[in-house]
Structure 1
Amino acid sequence: MNMHSSRNKGQSGIGQQDLDRLIASIGGPRQVEDIYPLSLMQQGMLFHSLYEPDSAVYVISLACRLQGDLDVDAFEQAWRMAVARHAVLRTAFVGQDLAVQLQVVLREAVLPFAREDWRGLALAEQERRLADLQQAERLRGFYFARPPLMRLALVRTGERDYRLLWNSHHILFDGWSIPLLLDDVFNAYVALSRREVPQLSPVRPFRDYIGWLQRQDMQTAEAYWRKRLAGFEAPTSLVLQRPGSDTTRSERYAEQSRVLKTALTVLEGFARQHKLTINTLVQGAWALLLGRYCDSDNVVFGVTVSGRPAELPDVERTVGLFVNTLPLRVALPGRTTVLDWLRDVQVRQTEVLEHQYSPLPLVQRWSEVADGTPLFESIVAFENYPTEISAAAELTQALRISDIHTLERTNYPLTLQVILEQSVSMNLIYDAERFAALAVERLLGQFARLLGEIVADPARPLSALSPLGEDERHQVVSAFNATAVNTPHGLLHARFVAQAARTPEKIALRFEDATLTYDELDRRANQLAHHLQQLGVGPDVVVGVLAERSFEMVVALFGILKAGGAYLPLDPGYPAERLAYMLDDAKAP
């Protein structure tokens, strides 16, 4: 058992007694292969998953179709070999009650692999059951002290037709790792189906990356992030239409997708011509969209980086959680040309990559954003799962993989995924309790429009780019401004008196379980008006109203107006000094 990074209390902050207790809770020392700390990214995912256990946050769900002569026993055995091969798949996450949380690699872990045979069911019934199974598996959750934190279900729907459901927790590995795992699985499957012994190359353990992280210079990172985020005090927040109260949802997060009309070849040609990356174009379009919505020339949002250090040998073949999400701050100077601005965005992106080892919780601490407030509310990520997964599946000529769909939810309100295949696909994952579906659909269309605008004429000033199409522009400029209405003339209290004369018995006010008719309100306001006039209230006299929301407050307002004075609302929640200042200011000529 390798515990040299954790047995020493000075290194880990955990005493031997606590360590022994943790090891005993997962089967004893003979079951343990290795122990090392969690990365801060893993700690964050663990916190959010434990805080929202029913939300399926950070659960990665992959579903696909397998067609061909599948040797199911060999296929299951190939997956079990992957678990034995990669330490992260045999890792328990423990110590949530201690100062340092640990990941404990077990020598063995039994992979849940369910088999279903639905060949006797009608197609519609198969699809219904498959949807129910996918939903149930996503919401089933994981017990972090019992690896592996993943499970599979293989459903046979025809003689040569299968559906594979693969659910795992993001704390184990990132999107880069998925094709690596499938590459191992299909390589092993090919050998096993031929009754041969799989020949797989050795893998680098994830613990080497944890050790690399611990050697990084955080003082250099701190200096960079403090300078880069100086003056930024609040997250860039999108204010969109909220969903209706009658909206029903099975999950908190929802997803909308569309394919970009601008061809991938056009984006690639533009990027190549101007020595830019497509990532820069996407991040630029999102920054511009945020700025237009927030009416700001300076925005911050999250960007995902691979987090795999080039100096760590074979890191590109290591399965584990390397990906990081960090803030990208983008200025939006209106007079700068689109091309010059994009070049600056790319410089900022390169700087982030140079500091991609920076833990987000520390970056948050180094910023000027208040504790407990997130640095950003939206993130942008590139995903290449489908193409790479299909490439892995081509290792076996007897199977065809199709209908690949991955689903993952973060704890951020908005996550934009951009997928590059033959075309550019965009997925916008959003908090359905915060944003209305129609507003998100509009947002996705506006992002696509801005991306097209960027490559259409990069010599234009940035201020010339708009996310609005002609129909939206007409609606904003003309339709929304058609506000002319026929307004009745007369003073407010005079109009109230006229209404009271017309409908004296109708309810004018309702507060909790009590009501007040127009006639009752009018008579009580008259009584107060006469009293105030006796006290000298009239034109140019200001009367303070210090009252909680109640019938009396409304009576006071109308009574003051009827007396000919003006009212000054005073909030009872204000400090006495603030109220005194407001009264003195009202007396000033």
Structure 2
Amino acid sequence: MDKNIKDILPLTKMQELMLIYSISNSESFASVETLIYLIDGELNLDVFKTAWERVIKSQTILRTSFVWDNLPQPFQVIRHDVEVDIEFRDWTGKDEDMVIKSIEEENYTNQSKLIDLTKSPLLNLKLIKLSSNKHYFVFGFHHIILDGWSVGLVMEEFKKNYKLLSESRELPIPFEYSYKNYVEWLNNQEMNDSLSFWEQHLEGITSPSSLKEFIQKDSKDNKKQVEISTYIPINTTRKLELLAKSNRVTLNTIFQAAWTILISKYREEEDVVFGFTVSGRPPGIDHVEHIAGVFINNIPIRIKLHQEQSLKSLLSDIQFENLEVQEHQHIGLSQIHNLVNLEKGSNLFDHLLIFQNYPHDSYLEQEDNSIVMRKKSSKGPSINSNYHLTVACSLRDNNIFLRIVYNEVNFDPEEVNGILENLKIIFEQMIDDERNINEFNLVHEPKIILNERKKFNHTFKEPSSPMEIQLSEIWKEVLGLDEVGVNQNLFELGGHSITIMQIIQRVKDDFEIKLSISDLFENPSIESLALLILNKYVLTTV
């Protein structure tokens, strides 16, 4: 074995999903993000590189690559040492706006090709000189190694290193923060209790709190993601902060309450389920607050409400819901999905909420006789998600900042803007916590009548041909399902890297046909896979 290999680990469930998505959507921008920082202050290039080398030495996730070809399951490979490659460009005298535009266009066009998952580090680093005391730093990374909190953590660690080195001070003895600790913690968790919790918690749900009423047409074009945003006025923000304090809840709870009210109004339902991204850092892991990696997980939040209920009561219920699921938030979404008796062809939720609270960013802008770093830009949507609609809330410049990223190909821009307008007006009405749910009003009336939504549902389709029937039996056995429609998507049914390999092996055993991984990614339904086998493997051999 390569002596430079330190560890070989399985992937977490979230990493598996990201890997599958990256392989099957190679042109997508959701997996790779590029941040641009403006650096003010005289920069020492040697110190800059050394500071980054030290960060990569201290964080094992930054020395990680991924392997999956011809293996029963994918693995992440951690190396003792990797070479830090920082591309330097001297663009002194160039127009600053043109420089930014050039960087953004280059990365927007090529970012999915700039990072090779099989080669560590999974980073794309560029330093562009504008003058002796002004540079742009381009930080590109793959989301399979860093979540939002970890990005801030890594950047803060870099700046601390740079400050010490630039002052000719020695860095402390390096301490290695190992993502392995989290992977092992996950693998050592007792799953049965948590699975039982989710099964009971989601009992009775047969259909999702869907926003598919706004889907205009199906498309796999992931290049049409756009972002819209708005601020909540500062006076309203302060009143909402006081509301949170007086009710002993967080702004995150306020955000979830506003969304719960919106979905309840749209769907005229009192049992709401939506996806929510949790930070996922277990307090039982030593130094977990300093370890970089992917800790986030997407879980369902279920809120039951009634129209005569007060906002104050709803806030209390949502706070309790978040505390209740906290102990079980490490379970993978595909595992949770398999526990729910959903309508055939349905997902548990089709949109995602994110509350962004990253404490590290402010450190970069502190003036401490070193460089000052300010986040200048992020080309394309700054929220990376493979959901067609993602809603994010954060505090920016003391204002609540709301953003929606959605796929323009699938969603009506007018209706998505209407969602944002309605969310904003709900926030403004929440100042009165004695207000009942039925007293909240919307400013935008959806043009698609909600009772017509059934025509957008994915109709279950039985297998008909002998091949479809045989493939259906394989999928049911591998996925552990009682029924599988021939038009249902393998990955929406909970398929992942291991099940892909199992299906390929079963098809080889039953049909004497050797499928490739790409065959399943490109034909994720039984119907399309049966046609592929017939046209590519059967007819061509006759």
TM-score bucket of the superposed structures, by smaller chain = 0.7 to 0.9
CA-to-partner distance for each residue in 1:196-245, whole Å, 9 max, x for gaps?
43225524311111111112121111111111111212322214656799
Output the CA distance in 2 between the equivalents of 1:436 and 1:67.
41
2:486 matched residue in structure 1: none
Output the CA distance in 2 between the equivalents of 1:416 and 1:464.
24
Distance 1:267 1:52, change over 3 A: same
Is residue 329 from structure 1 mapped to residue 302 from structure 2 by the alignment?
yes
1:147 matched residue in structure 2: 120
Is residue 448 from structure 1 mapped to residue 420 from structure 2 by the alignment?
no
Output the CA distance in 2 between the equivalents of 1:401 and 1:204.
24
1:546 matched residue in structure 2: none
Output the CA distance in 1 between the equivalents of 2:156 and 2:128.
21
Is residue 254 from structure 1 mapped to residue 230 from structure 2 by the alignment?
no
Choose 1 or 2 for highest CA Rg.
1
- Report matched runs for 1:176-575 at 5 Å: 176-199=149-172, 202-239=175-212, 241=214, 251-261=223-233, 263-369=236-342, 373-385=346-358, 388-394=360-366, 396-406=368-378, 407-421=382-396, 422-455=398-431, 457-468=432-443, 472=444
2:534 matched residue in structure 1: none
Cα RMSD, aligned residues only: 2.5
CA-to-partner distance for each residue in 1:407-445, whole Å, 9 max, x for gaps?
242111111111114111111111121113332222112
Contact 1:188 1:198 (8 Å CA) reproduced: yes
Contact 2:40 2:135 (8 Å CA) reproduced: yes
Structure 1 gap segments, 5+ residues each: 1-27, 481-589
Contact 1:415 1:429 (8 Å CA) reproduced: yes
Of the structure 1 ranges 315-324 and 125-134, higher mean CA displacement relative to structure 2 is found in: 125-134
Distance 1:155 1:340, change over 3 A: same
CA-to-partner distance for each residue in 1:169-220, whole Å, 9 max, x for gaps?
1111221212221122112212332344322552431111111111212111
Instruction: Work out which structure has the larger RCO, using CA pairs closer than 8 Å and 6 or more positions apart in sequence.
Output: 2
CA positional deviation for 1:280: 0.9
Distance 1:317 1:349, change over 3 A: same
- SS in structure 2 opposite 1:336? coil
2:536 matched residue in structure 1: none
Distance 1:124 1:103, change over 3 A: closer
CA positional deviation for 1:465: 0.9
Contact 1:66 1:399 (8 Å CA) reproduced: yes
1:125 matched residue in structure 2: 98
- Report matched runs for 1:42-81 at 5 Å: 42-81=15-54
Output the CA distance in 2 between the equivalents of 1:106 and 1:201.
16
Output the CA distance in 1 between the equivalents of 2:114 and 2:260.
34
Output the CA distance in 2 between the equivalents of 1:155 and 1:240.
46
Output the CA distance in 1 between the equivalents of 2:326 and 2:335.
16
CA-to-partner distance for each residue in 1:520-542, whole Å, 9 max, x for gaps?
xxxxxxxxxxxxxxxxxxxxxxx
The TM-score, its normalising length taken from structure 1, stands at 0.70
CA-to-partner distance for each residue in 1:107-152, whole Å, 9 max, x for gaps?
2222331112222323443243132133135332532111111111
Output the CA distance in 2 between the equivalents of 1:152 and 1:54.
20
Match of 2:64 among 91, 95, 104: 91
Distance 1:433 1:299, change over 3 A: same
* One-letter identity of the residue aligned with 2:119: R
CA-to-partner distance for each residue in 1:33-56, whole Å, 9 max, x for gaps?
111111111111111111101012
CA-to-partner distance for each residue in 1:47-93, whole Å, 9 max, x for gaps?
11111010122223222211111112211221122112211111111
1:486 matched residue in structure 2: none
Output the CA distance in 2 between the equivalents of 1:372 and 1:107.
45
Contact 1:187 1:198 (8 Å CA) reproduced: no
Distance 1:404 1:128, change over 3 A: closer
2:452 matched residue in structure 1: none
Output the CA distance in 2 between the equivalents of 1:280 and 1:444.
18
Distance 1:130 1:60, change over 3 A: closer
Distance 1:166 1:57, change over 3 A: same
The TM-score, its normalising length taken from structure 2, stands at 0.76
Is residue 160 from structure 1 mapped to residue 160 from structure 2 by the alignment?
no
* One-letter identity of the residue aligned with 2:229: S
* One-letter identity of the residue aligned with 1:428: I
Percent of pairs with identical residues: 26
Contact 2:60 2:177 (8 Å CA) reproduced: no
Contact 1:54 1:141 (8 Å CA) reproduced: no
Distance 1:62 1:343, change over 3 A: same
Distance 1:128 1:431, change over 3 A: same
Distance 1:364 1:244, change over 3 A: closer
1:115 matched residue in structure 2: 88
Count of matched residue pairs: 442
Contact 1:338 1:460 (8 Å CA) reproduced: yes
CA-to-partner distance for each residue in 1:474-512, whole Å, 9 max, x for gaps?
x98xxx9xxxxxxxxxxxxxxxxxxxxxxxxxxxxxxxx
Distance 1:373 1:60, change over 3 A: farther
Output the CA distance in 1 between the equivalents of 2:217 and 2:282.
46
Contact 1:186 1:395 (8 Å CA) reproduced: no
CA positional deviation for 1:326: 0.4
Contact 2:299 2:333 (8 Å CA) reproduced: yes
Distance 1:141 1:408, change over 3 A: farther
Contact 2:231 2:401 (8 Å CA) reproduced: yes
Contact 1:182 1:392 (8 Å CA) reproduced: yes
Contact 1:253 1:432 (8 Å CA) reproduced: yes
CA positional deviation for 1:351: 1.2
CA-to-partner distance for each residue in 1:454-481, whole Å, 9 max, x for gaps?
22x222221111222xxx47x98xxx9x
Contact 1:134 1:165 (8 Å CA) reproduced: no
CA-to-partner distance for each residue in 1:252-303, whole Å, 9 max, x for gaps?
3111111112533212111111112211110011122122222322221111
- SS in structure 1 opposite 2:206? coil
Of the structure 1 ranges 40-49 and 188-197, higher mean CA displacement relative to structure 2 is found in: 188-197
Of the structure 1 ranges 273-282 and 391-400, higher mean CA displacement relative to structure 2 is found in: 391-400
Structure 2 gap segments, 5+ residues each: 450-542
Is residue 33 from structure 1 mapped to residue 6 from structure 2 by the alignment?
yes
Contact 2:57 2:176 (8 Å CA) reproduced: no
Contact 1:54 1:139 (8 Å CA) reproduced: yes
Of the structure 1 ranges 218-227 and 127-136, higher mean CA displacement relative to structure 2 is found in: 127-136
* One-letter identity of the residue aligned with 2:410: R
Of the structure 1 ranges 34-43 and 189-198, higher mean CA displacement relative to structure 2 is found in: 189-198
Distance 1:53 1:207, change over 3 A: same
